[in-house]
Structure 1
Amino acid sequence: MATSNDPQENDEQPLNFHHPYTPYPVQLEFMRTVYDVLEKGNGQVGILESPTGTGKSLSLICSAVTWLRNHKRANLDAGLDETRRQMVGEPEWMVDIALRRKREELMKRWEEREERLEKLRKKERELEERGRDQKRVRVEGGQGGGKKEVDEEEEFLVGGGGEDGEGEEEGLSKETREMMVKVGLGGWKREEGEDGEEEDGEGIKIYYTSRTHSQLTQFISELRRPEFPPSLPSEILEKDGKEDAKETVKEITLSSRQKLCINPAVARLGSVSAINDRCTELQQSKSKEKCAFMPNTENLKQTHQFRDTTLATVPDIEDMYRIGKQLQVCPYYASRTAIPGAEVITLPYPLLLQKNAREALGIKLEGNVVIIDEAHNIMDAVANVYAADIRLSELRRGRQMLGVYVKRFGKKLKGENRVMVAQIGKVVESLKDWLEAQQQVKGDQGIADPNSLLKSRGADQINLYSLMKYIQDSKLAYKVESYVAHAEESQDSPKSSSTPVLHTLVSFLTALTNLSTEGRIFYEKLPASEGHDIKLSYLLLSPTHAFSSIASSARAVILAGGTMSPFEDYKAHLFPELPGDKLTTLSCGHVIPETNLFVHTLASYKPGGGGGDGTFEFSFGKRSDRTMIKNLGLTLLNICLVAPDGVVVFFPSYGYLDEVVGVWQQQEGEGKSIWERLAGKKPLFRDASSTTSGSASTDDILGQYSAAIDAPATPHKGAVLFSVIGGRLSEGINFSDGLCRLVLIVGLPYPNLHSPEWKARIEYLESTCIARGGSKEEAKVEAREFYENAAMRAVNQSIGRAVRHRGDWSGIVLVDRRYGMERVRGKLPGWIRKGMKGEGVDNRGVAGLMGGLGAFFRGKA
């Protein structure tokens, strides 16, 4: 492969992406597409699908970092060219001197920075080797370590919202904010020339986000594999004989206080909201107990050492915590000092998706690159970030806590504090009254009118925006909950609840203040296992508005995932105003040979496949047909005769899985039941909902299933695992090699259209389509597409559990006549459609399936 780093490439001289291995053609196609999207910029969006096992993360890294270094190099080249232009007409020797000085200046700065970072890398390696055998000194910061005398009024009495630095960053005092500016923390305006490293940090950054911290950790481990050349122009490197020089990627991981707080007295609070409130409480200027780990002028050296160490070592979240602990400086705040010098910034979904979280961390998306990995669930992730719910039991507990607090401090509360605490009590009472009334109404769930929730006790006259601002500025929720916990501890009585009730109320009130057109509020009566409670839930119906600030700010946005198909929803609901020439989509093939994949749609269990009683159709109205269920069991029995190792069967829901197993377990005549006959071929394992009483953990189920497959060869070689599409085993689980030699998808997991949530979604989609000028028919088609796409995304995730690397192989059987419909089949990933034979439907029924499967498995024997 050619080694040119020139961003302006031609077909004869392809880009060198510095991939640590020899890339497959699909990886080259993927990397080239990412590079092109970033190079075009100007609000470009790429929606890219690359199946699990094709090295997606490494391809994202190599393409994005290669582009970034090339882009930086092009800018420096442009600076040298500008120097040449400015000296047109000057003697050649003067031009040479000016260019040499410019080159030497750039090289000197780069060498000094890299030497400093290499020393830190070496020191880190030495610490890692020695550190395992050394005891670390734990600094408690003067907080914690047993009971102590508490000045209750000083500690818990609310002192007024916003009296110092009203509306400012995270409720921090003016004194704290000024100090943070001095130590170079991101998010605030710097004094010019204050930080010598600021110049190194100028330029575009790559913000990489994924769903979980474990996925980010995996990404960072991949980020350490490739070696990239520095962004210095070739003429500088050649002059200094450093053509082969390498430069470590400068990466920083951002996270919440909950993950990064090293103050034990704060971290032990557990909930995110309580930790946030206590942390900012300790920064208030009146606080006697300042946090010992907060970056300040006294620990400026440690703060800068934290910055340089993290930029030198490509740290994950555990490394960030460890470095902060070693240096005795807060990783949450100190990490901001590394943002200006970072090239790649990794962070979990919520910190990117919430505008206030981005502002709190000093994240600026303008002109930068955003890469969202595992993006198949990004729309759900946006909804989850803005979701909130509260239960009647929590409201009752919250009212009790307010009563305890007012009884102790009521006479001390003055002015605004007295009024606001009373208003919070009215809001709690009104919500409690509404839910208590709803318990007497028939029906287990429904949509709540937001206006009716606050009609009791005069709560509808309260300005929720002002009330929310007061609660956030005064840290009232933290003070009330902390005082009640303190009072219960003092009385040696057990805590009534560990749930941060008032913080839950704050989240729900925040949802109430959202635009009514964007979301709905639902109520649901809970079962006896949850105390016959009743809860209110807020659901964001559309991610468009919440995501718009990202889409409109970034230079380019990449949505990448193993199973992104079908693509239409992302454009329609995340980028509805995006012109067609700014959108790039790609569905990559798999790296496995075609002979390693068998895909079959089973439409019937009788030859001919032409409807009647012989059709497999697991629609809601037909799926309880006992004859069809029995024939499904007999089909699986035949499959177990030829399929080696593991077979994974996915059902549309836990309820239907229970129904099917119930039919299979029924004895008919004197012979064995279908369930017993299946168990005679392979051991059977069954997933259950995490809410089911006594259900085993995911790890336990997988452990038992794996052990059965790895057991010495017997007549019952392998095992069958029954799971659910969208359930615990359908995402993030690696069924590679023998764990899944065949995946069986039973039916399509269409959501329940009769549920209040989906009724509201469909109504919203249809009304917004009509508001844009669409007809009623077009609105119905659009809503149906969204409904179908939701089901097929879940199916595609389940299918993706099977083939996990180049040498892997598996059969995929889609059991339902509807998979033979072009509209449905077109929503499958391209590599799955490619694996289908003919039109994807075999009219020979089970006999046709078994003939194809038998030949496939014999070819792998």
Structure 2
Amino acid sequence: MAISTENDSDADTRAPLDFHHPYTPYDVQIEFMRAVYGVLEKGNGQVGILESPTGTGKSLSLICSALTWLRNHKRSMYEAGLEETAKSMAGEPDWMIETSLRRKREELAHKWEEREARLDRVRAKERMMEEKGRAGKRARVDEGGRGKKKDEVDEEREFWIGDHEGDGGSGHDPFSLLSKETRDFLSRVGMGRAEAEEDDGKEEDEIKIFYTSRTHSQLTQFISELRRPVFPPSVPSDTVTSKREGEEPTTETIKQVPLSSRQKLCINPSVSRLGSLSAINDRCTELQQSKTKDRCAFMPTDENLKQTHQFRDAVFATLPDIEDMHQIGKGLQVCPYYASRTAIPGAEVITLPYPLLLQKSAREALGIELEGNVVIIDEAHNIMDAVANVYAAEIRLSELRRARQMLGVYVKRFGKKLKGENRVMVAQLGKIVESLAEWLSGSLQAKTEHGIADPNGLLKHRGADQINLYQLIKYIHDSKLAYKAESYASHVEEQNFSASDTKSRVSTPVLHTLVSFLTALTNLSTEGRIFFEKLPGPPPDIKLSYLLLSPTHAFSSIAESARAVILAGGTMSPFDDYKAHLFPTLPPSKITTLSCGHVIPPSNLCVWTLGSTRPINGTGVPPDAFEFSFQKRDDRDMVRQLGLALVNICSVVPDGVVVFFPSYGYLDQVVAMWQAAEPASSTSTAKTIWERLTARKVVFSESKGGSSDEVLQEYTQAILSPGENGKGPGKATQTGALLLSVVGGKMSEGINFSDRLGRCVVIVGLPYPNINSPEWKARIEYIESSTMSRLLSENEQEQGGSAKPTIQVQAVAKQVARDFYENACMRAVNQSIGRAIRHRNDYAAIVLVDRRFGTDRIRTKLPGWIRGGMVEGSETKGLQGLMGALNGFFRSKRGV
């Protein structure tokens, strides 16, 4: 059942709707799909914040609801168009109106039938090739003498920036870096800035669903799910008929295009081998310049227009993922990165990773228009961190020294040939490097380990504060200075070192890193902060980091443009942060929230709050209560009691137990205490807590720098294949395994502890971030000040004049900041809890070890399905109550 909903859409979402789900959906799936459909139907900037636990088929529910709405919407728009035509001809003879409407229907039918027939031919051809085993591979295009020794002329042509002209750069047009021929071609197929000419193969731009998730693997999984359901045609069923069968078509293939970076899609070996995304981008755009002789042979042009259209049709016919796109482009010998643009206008679903959607410049470069379209953000629990990461940048002192060395090598070779603007700009970049390096060198000698840096102070040396950063950054992009200087430095090193030395070196794109940091410096100072932090050596190092303090402004271009935005995830609770920091000005009437229950029966979940090992009587907090706060977590007796509680839990829980600690440092500290000898009052033969744990289960511990894959593999093997290859139980008393992990660590997100791997998940304490760190101090300060400014502005509008800060306004601002801090903690907790219970027949116990989990303030921030499975009053019943509950729970599951 749905645990909570807000702002049910005005659309009649309770009316019977066929979502074309390939299976019989659960009640929670129906509720979820209705919520999505309602948000999309209402449109007009609506937002849905929807939570559906892992294992409830969230991705398939998103697909079925969104595609059902899209197809219904297309048919309704078609019908509305016919009605509008009829209204505009009011007063004309009936036969004339009917003729006009029939002609419109015939045009639509012809276009639809032609497109579907074309895609059918593509599918038939592919099936035939598969059956005959003739999936031909075209010969690789010669890389153009890659192994030849460069002479001085080639060297100058590749590395020299002397041919750069002052204003020939990109400006605000991401396509201006391409050659005129390329821009003309892209405009003819519906891309670019120029007016497009008529082209028979051009697809009409239609309403789209932009679906984004964190990683390419998650997008690949989504595309796999996209292949399961089938949907009716996007035109009224009585409009077209199948020429082969003479019947109305009942289905239509989903038109989906996956987008990605050049790094994933480039098929030019001489470019893709560069490795660095920045270097690949620069080299690719350089090869499109009209003055470049060795132009990329894979770039879509008039000469390979047929292959480009074949690429588009193959994409629409096959529901490809990124790897498929690469192979299609390789087979047709046409660039997938640019050819995919021709498929965008006719696509229904466009899948892309977070950075390509969240950054406006990336959307412009891809030709993505969000206006009037739908945006679905999956795994949205970390969307605010994702926005901050997209805009984050950092530079180290060691990288600045390397950049200075690269520029020195470059200027030594080409300095006398640099003229005019080129000479000035290269000198300015050198001053920037010197100033930043000088500031960091001084900070490295200071006693302070970390803190906030003043942007003005960073550029006060060498006259760098007089430099126009916007103009310099634009010049570097236009001239490809970073790419050319780094390429030349690598070229020189290759000449000076042996082959073995060259293979062992890793070329770091430090100039590109520097440009990213300079770009961050141009952001509004109110939106971000720059931090410095010393790094352990040897040799000692120090870095500058830019942190975006609020995602509001960066996300506003998406929220304001899209018809509707859906934020979906398995653990979205608590919801308040998304409203306050992504959509602060959106009225409540435009936000729909939903927290779905789980598909498991209530008997498959046992949630217990362990507040103390002893029963708690009365309302006060007993001195021996579990409270793993910064002030109390070092209490050796409390740590010992935690260990004894785990020994008891491991004695009754079968198979796998996963324990999450607040941090790696605290995990190591606790393990050290458990491994120490028992107090002197105990007998000399008393076993340590660690020995008792290892007697119950095979114990594994996650380490900060270690391999999570290896630990997970050994943990899995100890449970599923005990005793194999020297792993697993060494004693008859051992049953299963215990994994000690960290909230926010490698095991807390994306890892599946289903079935026997996670019969019990234990959360130790509340993993609050370090509020004394410079980053969190800056965040809290920013949230308080921005909240206060917003409240004062609202008060001014209400009062019709200026408003002054009041105690009440200040209190509200502090509470908003406190909630943000606490919600960051609870999102991490909820992610860890979600590692267990991965499907309908799964079952597990969740043990929350900290008395604060029993407070209403914390409990309300747990997911609805967790709150629903919580044993009432468990925080007061102690360890004995927990053991009775676990014994009963797992006894009822024997034989399941």
TM, length-normalised to structure 1: 0.95
Give the aligned partner of residue 55 of structure 2.
Answer: 53
Correspondent of 1:249 among 254, 262, 265: 254
Matches within 5 A, 1:428-439: 428-439=433-444
Matches of 1:798 and 1:654 in 2, distance apart? 15
Superposition CA RMSD, Å: 2.0
- Give the deviation of 1:515 after TM superposition: 0.3
Matches within 5 A, 1:363-512: 363-492=368-497, 494=501, 498-512=507-521
Residue 831 of structure 1 aligns to a residue in which SS? Answer: helix
Alignment-mate amino acid for residue 579 of structure 1 = P
Matches of 2:594 and 2:134 in 1, distance apart? 46
Matches within 5 A, 1:142-291: 142=144, 144-145=146-147, 147-149=149-151, 151-158=154-161, 159-160=163-164, 162-164=166-168, 166-167=170-171, 168-169=173-174, 171-181=176-186, 183-184=188-189, 186-198=191-203, 201-236=204-239, 242-243=247-248, 245-291=250-296
Give the aligned partner of residue 622 of structure 1.
Answer: 632
Correspondence 1:705 to 2:715: yes
Quick check: 1:38–1:369 contact (8 Å CA) kept in 2? yes
Give the aligned partner of residue 298 of structure 2.
Answer: 293
Correspondent of 2:139 among 133, 137, 140: 137
Matches within 5 A, 1:89-128: 92=94, 94-128=96-130
- Give the deviation of 1:237 after TM superposition: 5.2
Alignment-mate amino acid for residue 815 of structure 2 = V
- Give the deviation of 1:163 after TM superposition: 4.4
- Give the deviation of 1:766 after TM superposition: 1.0
- Give the deviation of 1:84 after TM superposition: 3.5
Q: Deviations over 1:422-460 (max 9, x none)?
A: 110000000000000001111211111111001111111
Change (3 A) 1:820 1:11: closer
Alignment-mate amino acid for residue 155 of structure 1 = E
- Give the deviation of 1:312 after TM superposition: 1.3
Quick check: 1:745–1:815 contact (8 Å CA) kept in 2? yes
Matches of 2:851 and 2:10 in 1, distance apart? 50
Structure 1 spans left out of the alignment, 5+ residues: 1-6
Matches of 2:472 and 2:141 in 1, distance apart? 38
Q: Deviations over 1:259-279 (max 9, x none)?
A: 000011100111110000000
Matches of 1:452 and 1:10 in 2, distance apart? 59
Give the aligned partner of residue 653 of structure 1.
Answer: 663
Quick check: 2:53–2:570 contact (8 Å CA) kept in 1? yes
Matches of 2:467 and 2:425 in 1, distance apart? 10
The sequence identity of aligned pairs, in percent, is: 68
After alignment, is 122-131 or 758-767 more displaced? 122-131
Alignment-mate amino acid for residue 385 of structure 1 = V
Correspondence 1:665 to 2:685: no
Residue 612 of structure 1 aligns to a residue in which SS? Answer: coil
Quick check: 2:188–2:198 contact (8 Å CA) kept in 1? no
Residue 862 of structure 2 aligns to a residue in which SS? Answer: coil
Matches of 2:49 and 2:389 in 1, distance apart? 21
Change (3 A) 1:272 1:754: same
Matches of 1:291 and 1:183 in 2, distance apart? 20
After alignment, is 665-674 or 607-616 more displaced? 607-616
Quick check: 2:129–2:135 contact (8 Å CA) kept in 1? no
Residue 599 of structure 1 aligns to a residue in which SS? Answer: strand
Change (3 A) 1:329 1:812: same
Alignment-mate amino acid for residue 54 of structure 2 = T
Matches of 1:318 and 1:238 in 2, distance apart? 35
Correspondent of 2:599 among 581, 586, 591: 591
- Give the deviation of 1:748 after TM superposition: 0.5
Correspondence 1:856 to 2:864: no
Quick check: 2:612–2:878 contact (8 Å CA) kept in 1? yes
Q: Deviations over 1:110-164 (max 9, x none)?
A: 1111111011122233445566886652224426356554622111111325543
Give the aligned partner of residue 745 of structure 2.
Answer: 727
Correspondence 1:566 to 2:574: yes
Give the aligned partner of residue 545 of structure 1.
Answer: 553
Matches of 1:683 and 1:225 in 2, distance apart? 40
Change (3 A) 1:244 1:153: closer
Quick check: 2:257–2:320 contact (8 Å CA) kept in 1? yes
- Give the deviation of 1:780 after TM superposition: 1.3
- Give the deviation of 1:232 after TM superposition: 1.2
Alignment-mate amino acid for residue 475 of structure 1 = K
Alignment-mate amino acid for residue 504 of structure 1 = T
Give the aligned partner of residue 688 of structure 1.
Answer: 703
After alignment, is 125-134 or 258-267 more displaced? 125-134
Correspondence 1:344 to 2:349: yes
Quick check: 1:156–1:479 contact (8 Å CA) kept in 2? yes
Alignment-mate amino acid for residue 436 of structure 2 = L
Matches within 5 A, 1:712-791: 715-772=733-790, 773=792, 775-791=809-825
Give the aligned partner of residue 22 of structure 1.
Answer: 24
Alignment-mate amino acid for residue 665 of structure 1 = Q
Change (3 A) 1:23 1:161: farther
Matches within 5 A, 1:294-333: 294-333=299-338
- Give the deviation of 1:109 after TM superposition: 1.7
Change (3 A) 1:127 1:259: farther
- Give the deviation of 1:487 after TM superposition: 1.2
Change (3 A) 1:173 1:708: closer
Quick check: 2:206–2:347 contact (8 Å CA) kept in 1? no
- Give the deviation of 1:80 after TM superposition: 2.5
Correspondent of 1:679 among 677, 687, 694: 694
Matches of 1:703 and 1:132 in 2, distance apart? 39
- Give the deviation of 1:497 after TM superposition: 5.1
Give the aligned partner of residue 365 of structure 2.
Answer: 360
Change (3 A) 1:720 1:140: farther
Quick check: 2:783–2:813 contact (8 Å CA) kept in 1? yes
Quick check: 1:165–1:174 contact (8 Å CA) kept in 2? no
Q: Deviations over 1:767-793 (max 9, x none)?
A: 112222262211211111000000000
Residue 567 of structure 2 aligns to a residue in which SS? Answer: strand
Q: Deviations over 1:240-298 (max 9, x none)?
A: 96455210000001100000000111001111100000001111111111011111111
Quick check: 1:680–1:716 contact (8 Å CA) kept in 2? yes
Equivalences, count:
846
- Give the deviation of 1:508 after TM superposition: 0.4
- Give the deviation of 1:656 after TM superposition: 0.4
Residue 568 of structure 2 aligns to a residue in which SS? Answer: strand
Correspondent of 1:514 among 512, 523, 528: 523
Change (3 A) 1:24 1:247: same
TM, length-normalised to structure 2: 0.91
